[in-house]
Amino acid sequence: MKEKDLSNIKVTDSAGKLARGFLYNPLTAVLAIFLLAIGYISLEVMPREEDPQISISGGSIIVPAPGLKPKEIEQIIVEPLETKLREIKGIEHIYSMSMDNVAVVNVMYHIGQNREISNLKLYDKVMQNMDKLPKNIMQPLVKPFDIDIDIPILGIAFYQKDKSISYPQYLETIENLKKDISAIDSVSKTELKGEHKEQYNVEVDLAKLKGYHLSLGQIVQGIKSIAVRVPSVNAPTKNNELVIFGIKNAIDSIKDVENIMVAQYMGSPIYLRDVAKITDSIDIQNKQSAKIFFKDGQSYEQITLSVSKLAGTNAVFVADDVKELLDSHKETLNKLGISYTITRDYGVRANDAVNELVHHLVITIVIIAVMLVFFLGWKESLIVTFTVPAILAITLFIAYMGDQTINRITLFAFLLSLGLLVDAAIIVIENIHRHMHAHDSEQRDIDELLISATDEIGAPTNVATLAIILTMVPMAFVGGMMGEFMKPIPFNVPVALLASLFIAYIFTPYLGRKLLHRSEDGAHQHTEKEAN
Amino acid sequence: MGHEHQGKKFEEFVYGILDNPKKTLIVFGLVALFFVGSIMMFPTKIVLAKMLPGKSTNTFTVYIDTPNGSSIHQTKAVSECVINIFQKEKHVTDLELFLGQGSPLDYAGLVKGSGMKMGEQFAEVVVNLTDKHSRDEKSFNMVQRLRPILKDKCLPIVKNTNIKMIEMPAGPPTLASIVVEVYGKYNQKVIELSHDVAKILQKTDGLVDIDIMADESYKKYQLVPISDKVSKSGLSVEQVNQILYLAFEGMGVAVKNTIELNNQISIFVSLSDESQTMNSNTLSALKAKLSQLSLMNKNGMMIPLTEVVAIEEGESAPMIYHKNLKTMVNVVAETDMVSQVYPLLDAREKMIEYFSDKYEVSKVDGITTYMFDLKLKDKTNGEEYLLRWDGEMKVTLDTFRDLGAAFIAALILIFLLLVVYYKSFVLSSIVLGGSFLSIIGVIIGHWVADLVTTETFFLTATSLIGFIALMGISSRNSLLLIDFAKSLIQEKDIPKRRAIAIASATRSKPIMLTAIAIILGSALLASDPVFGGLGVALISGTVAAVIVSLIFIPILMDKTKDI
């Protein structure tokens, strides 16, 4: 259709101006498609996670002080350290624990402090004041903690269904798998829990020791003297060639340990195996263990591999990548008698949350559309229905640009705005509908009617929407963890509402012109021709 | 047309109220009655407030803490008892037991110190359930049902064991629902006081999983090398210490490098289990064991260990905990499906009563987020203690305070916006006052929701957010109404009262339509455990807002001279 001169239509408000500007603009349709496209892309690529990322900075300072009692530790380590840490700006709480042999000081920064800077400040403060700490303690350990990196998104429990391979081999397989998983994009930290190391255990029998008149010290000496490692040695020959020879490890297998001679008793050698039980097994001094119990009563010793993701990355993608890698290894693992079960999957949970949003949206849009069919007619209903995805598309895109992720709380913000964002379109379409069905509508030009109907409710709708936006904005200033948790609401709801205004003013009259006709068709045709 | 006819009827209805002072008075009276009635639901506890409701999840964790000094075997026995109970549950898919350590970190564990756990007295059991959509029992109901069974059966296995059931928080994680921080100068006194506090919490209805976050003292033996005997026997103190450690704890003395495997293999020496085991936890048993251990001196002579060390019996020294440089002990408790507000007030009353015997109890003046704190002063020696409420309660108070401030800020901002738009204080006040009345709907809605649901339906932080959003929505209704009436009067010269009636009849349609859209849009939310409060607030608040803007606002408009 040829563009008409609409500038003679009197408008008073931005609503009318937008309606007039886009009514015949060929780009309006392109804009609509473009908006829907960026919205869809944003929905697909935006990082998904279950809980929002809260930037909590803090750290632990662990000071090992063997042999000191809690009271001593409190006085000579904790108190000087605490007073010095107080000097750091931005710290909210300092917690300390003075225990036997060790001091732990935990520092929590105020929410929203820059993490890297906070960590550096903490490290700096401790290092600067090393001289204030007593001399007989060990080097303090400064360990920052980080909510994004520290909380694993995936947990995989490995267990041996049959013991066809030895524990070291089993552990080796899992550690290799762990290495492969660490190499996946966006995986930050992989950790094993419940794993034991291979170890040669020499369990000395006290009675036999006494019988041979041996001391524990002798046994230790005996083992130490043979388990040395020497680098390769070079020696020149007569014609200056190099001869390289290595010295073979004296201990190569469990047999070598068994055959260590610890002493002589009445002329005959005493071997280690005579006084101790020697086994090639796991670290028995490590009391930590993990087990998995199934519904059917079966239980296995397990090793949990936990996988964390980098901040700002998509939990769904990372989890999928890891699961894919596991699947590709499933056969090999099965052959080795290793089974696994996924015990934690935040990827699925994040995905569920997002899909639930989309599901809710669709249902709500359908319900609202059906309702509007009854009150206004199916074409009007169609127009309002179109505006919802368009508004959400803009909101999603802006959220994506603002480095937000799709999580439970952004979902909450969208659901909250859902009931609000159709309002502008409903008000516009209702006013157009009312004007079209008014008695004097036959005398009016259709374009003029659309534009002035939009213009008429523009001012109060603008003010009202602004009022809703104003109610949301102060929420951005709620402090503490809860404030941080709710941040997506004051960020996204106003954007959605603003978008709803633009969409309502631009697309409702535009689609109205394409779809809606006045009650008397003849009158409509007539005015069209006249205008041309 | 049908619509037109209805519109006319409604127009006459509104006009009838405006034109009849008696009817106007009745409407005023009803509004006032509802407003006061709904506000009164708070102090009368008909509608209960809570920070965030429980969230049904597919997993929860059981923390098992046997007393300090317990062995891994004791902890294991308790854990296995717990696991046995869960294994019988039909919705449990699998259970993970982590002995001597915390489970892989999650949101709750982050603040509850799960990652720091290391020792034989700790265990965590992760309970994985079937998907929440395919299960009728919500995870928090299951926790509530199993908690007494668990405690009944598993707690007696090891005395002083603590079992806590940790659910995933719906909002930001906190240390516990209720935390009482007991501050004082001397650690021992603080620990004693915290035991009293724990006892009171135990007696309070609705509180479960009470735990004192301090070490229990346990029997401990101290081996003291007698230095002159050590040197006379040609030994060194270091040697003595090392051998003792080696014998009972064990030590890696050498390593073997491997080509095939990732790790070095350590060669670990210790006494065998049978050699380590003592007959009983007594001084004589320890002495008997130690006498079997001998050391070789420089001259190759064997010297029994008991010759050079003395054994002292004593109590272990408990950990000293500081918060912000002050000695403190935490007493924590969880709530059993109730809001933490009411048990807290309850427990506080009991504490005031209990402690007034020995202490002078004083409250904190003024309204702060620490307003429930109690100060204790020992009547005999004047030592001062502070009982401070922290945890979810503190977060709740802080959040409600901030949200309240946000709400007031929103009111002021809207008012200013309206003043700019209408250039009239009266009209702006009408719009704002009308919006505020939607609180009637919010509260009544919660009351009704509480009546129809089996669990308590709390007024939560999300309800408050819903209410704040409602302010904007209902002001939109009033705005459209006032604007339309104004333009009717100015452009078409219709008398004011008639214009208001026409306006409310004409605007009733879009107001109803947007209201229905909001109600339908929020209907799905209302069934959600976390966002339910928001859904109910929006639905019932919108209903109230529609009634207020179509009937009550016209009356106010009629009364003012600014139109």
- Residue A261: its pLDDT value, please? 82
| Chain B CB contacts of A151 below 8 Å | 105-107, 110
Half-sphere exposure of A186 (CA within 13 A, CB side): 16
Q: What is the mean pLDDT of residues A357-382?
A: 81
Q: How many CB atoms within 10 Å of residue B336?
A: 18
Q: How far is A530 from chain B (nearest CA, A)?
A: 28
**Which of residues 322 through 341 in chain B touch A, CB cutoff 8 A?**
322-325
Q: How far is A238 from chain B (nearest CA, A)?
A: 34
- Predicted confidence band of residue A531 (pLDDT cuts 50, 70, 90): very low
Share of chain B above pLDDT 90, in %: 1
In a mutational test of the A interface, the residue from B465, B484, B507, B530 whose CB has the highest number of chain A CBs within 10 Å is B465
Which residue did the predictor score with more confidence, A346 or B48? Answer: A346
- Residue A481: its pLDDT value, please? 73
What's the pLDDT tens digit per position in B135-171?
878 888 888 888 888 888 888 888 888 888 888 877 7
Share of chain A above pLDDT 70, in %: 91
Statement: residue A312 has pLDDT above 80 = no
CB-based contact, B245 to chain A, within 8 Å: no
What's the pLDDT tens digit per position in A269-296?
888 888 888 888 778 777 888 888 888 8
Subunit contact A460:B417, Cβ cutoff 8 A: no
Q: What is the mean pLDDT of residues B381-386?
A: 86
- Residue A529: its pLDDT value, please? 37
Q: What is the ipTM of this complex?
A: 0.78
| C-alpha–C-alpha distance, residues A117 and A101, integer Å | 31
- Residue B261: its pLDDT value, please? 55
What's the pLDDT tens digit per position in B406-431?
888 888 888 888 888 888 888 888 88
What's the pLDDT tens digit per position in B184-208?
888 888 888 888 889 998 888 888 8
Statement: residue A411 has pLDDT above 60 = yes
Statement: residue A2 has pLDDT above 50 = no
**Average per-residue pLDDT in chain B?**
82
Statement: residue A55 has pLDDT above 70 = no
Q: How far is B267 from chain A (nearest CA, A)?
A: 5
Q: Report which DSSP code applies to A297.
A: S
Statement: residue A324 has pLDDT above 80 = yes
What's the pLDDT tens digit per position in B496-545?
888 888 888 888 888 888 888 888 877 777 777 667 788 888 888 888 88
- Which residue on chain B is closest to A170 by alpha carbon? B261
Q: Which of A311-325, B4-18, B24-38, B374-388 has the lowest mean pLDDT?
A: B4-18
Q: How far is B382 from chain A (nearest CA, A)?
A: 23
Q: How many CB atoms within 10 Å of residue A158?
A: 25
Statement: residue A528 has pLDDT above 50 = no
Q: Using the Cα atoms of residue A512, residue A513, residue A519 and residue A521 in order, give the sign of their dihedral.
A: negative
| Burial class (CB within 10 angstroms; exposed 0-12, middle 13-18, buried 19+) of A296 | exposed
Statement: residue A122 has pLDDT above 80 = yes
What's the pLDDT tens digit per position in B288-345?
877 877 777 777 777 887 888 888 887 777 888 888 888 889 898 888 777 777 888 8
Q: How far is A2 from chain B (nearest CA, A)?
A: 34
- Residue A526: its pLDDT value, please? 39
Q: How far is B22 from chain A (nearest CA, A)?
A: 32
CB-based contact, A117 to chain B, within 8 Å: no
- Predicted confidence band of residue A53 (pLDDT cuts 50, 70, 90): low
Statement: residue B263 has pLDDT above 70 = no
| C-alpha–C-alpha distance, residues A12 and A14, integer Å | 7
User: DSSP 3-state helix, strand, coil percentages of chain B (rounded to 5)?
Assistant: 55, 20, 25
- Residue B12: its pLDDT value, please? 83
What's the pLDDT tens digit per position in B274-293?
777 777 777 788 888 778 77
Give the phi and the psi of residue B489 in degrees, each rounded to 5: -70, -45
- Predicted confidence band of residue B53 (pLDDT cuts 50, 70, 90): low
- Residue A325: its pLDDT value, please? 92
Interface A–B counts its CB contacts (< 8 A) at 388
**Which of residues 249 through 308 in chain B touch A, CB cutoff 8 A?**
249-257, 260-263, 265-275, 292-296, 302
- Which residue on chain B is closest to A290 by alpha carbon? B98
**Average per-residue pLDDT in chain A?**
81
| C-alpha–C-alpha distance, residues A491 and A509, integer Å | 28
**Which of residues 14 through 43 in chain A touch B, CB cutoff 8 A?**
none
- Predicted confidence band of residue A525 (pLDDT cuts 50, 70, 90): very low
Statement: residue A415 has pLDDT above 80 = no
**Smallest Cβ distance to A204: which of B275, B320, B413?**
B275
Subunit contact A99:B319, Cβ cutoff 8 A: yes
- Residue B277: its pLDDT value, please? 77
In the block, tokens 């089974």 appear at A339
CB-based contact, A486 to chain B, within 8 Å: yes
Q: How far is B323 from chain A (nearest CA, A)?
A: 4
Q: How far is B552 from chain A (nearest CA, A)?
A: 19
pTM of this structure: 0.80
CB-based contact, A55 to chain B, within 8 Å: no
Subunit contact B402:A477, Cβ cutoff 8 A: yes
Subunit contact B295:A364, Cβ cutoff 8 A: no
What's the pLDDT tens digit per position in A200-228?
888 888 888 888 888 888 888 888 877 66
Q: What is the mean pLDDT of residues A374-393?
A: 84
Subunit contact A276:B272, Cβ cutoff 8 A: yes
Q: What is the mean pLDDT of residues B108-123?
A: 80
Q: What Cα–Cα distance (Å) separates residue B467 from each residue in B464, B518, B525, B533, B536?
A: 5, 13, 15, 10, 10
Q: How many helices (H) and strands (E) does chain B have?
A: 18, 17
| C-alpha–C-alpha distance, residues B93 and A445, integer Å | 68
SS (H, E, C) B104-134: CCCHHHHHHCHHHCEEEEEEEEEEEECCHHH
Which tokens go with A385? Answer: 């229905």
Statement: residue A247 has pLDDT above 70 = no
| Chain B CB contacts of A88 below 8 Å | none
Q: Report which DSSP code applies to B99.
A: E
**Which of residues 118 through 157 in chain B touch A, CB cutoff 8 A?**
118, 120, 126, 128
Statement: residue B387 has pLDDT above 70 = yes
In a mutational test of the A interface, the residue from B51, B256, B486 whose CB has the highest number of chain A CBs within 10 Å is B256
- Residue A524: its pLDDT value, please? 41
| Chain A CB contacts of B521 below 8 Å | 364, 367-368, 415, 418-419, 422
Interaxial angle between packed helices B461-492 and A408-421, expressed in degrees from 0 to 180 and rounded to the nearest 10 = 20
Give the phi and the psi of residue A331 in degrees, each rounded to 5: -55, -55
